[in-house]
Amino acid sequence: MPEVSIHPYSYRQDPAVPDYDDTKPLFVFDGVCVLCSGGASWLMKYDKQARVNFAPAQEALGQALYAHYGVIMDESYLLIANGRAYTATRGYLELCKLLGGAWHLFRAVTILPESLRDRAYALIARNRYRWFGKTEYCTLLTADQRSRLL
């Protein structure tokens, strides 16, 4: 389920989804997963222009967006960009496109079929706690990075 097929900005009409600043893409990640929190921290560090907002899946906004789009948190993160939701490898490719510059280099993985990329992604997602572990909620983020969370 790389792109969730619901009308753009449909979450704005969902009373269960808290209002948030959607003028920037929103990356919703698992705040207790070492791999996920570490990845969000890495993205924040290299997104020098703060083009992307972040939200932990465990907070009200993250939970509401997962429910709205019918995505199971254990299966993928969510990227909400231009009112659309993306998951799995398509979401990462969309994120690289949005960040621009050298981030476009990561889009070279499109030489692989999406089904193969997403199978590899699903394998990692299913085993992320076992392979990488869990941590206290968002402890891998610095205080400055925590201030970027919605």
pLDDT digits (tens, 9 = 90+) for 37-58: 888 988 888 888 889 999 999 9
Which amino acid is it at 113? P
pLDDT number for residue 147: 76
Question: What angle, 0 to 180 degrees and rounded to 10, lies between the N-to-C axes of helices 114-132 and 88-99?
Answer: 100
Mean pLDDT, the chain, rounded, equals 88
C-alpha torsion sign, points 97, 11, 123, 116: negative
By 3-state DSSP, what share of the chain in percent is helix, strand and coil, each rounded to 5? 50, 15, 40
Distance between CA atoms of residues 73 and 105, nearest Å: 28
Closest to 14 in 3D by CA, of 76, 58, 52, 63: 63
Which percentage of the chain shows pLDDT scores above 90? 57
- Partners of 3 in the β-ladder: 86
Model confidence at 121, in pLDDT bands (50, 70, 90)? very high
Distance between CA atoms of residues 96 and 43, nearest Å: 10
| pTM above threshold 0.85 | yes
Model confidence at 17, in pLDDT bands (50, 70, 90)? very high
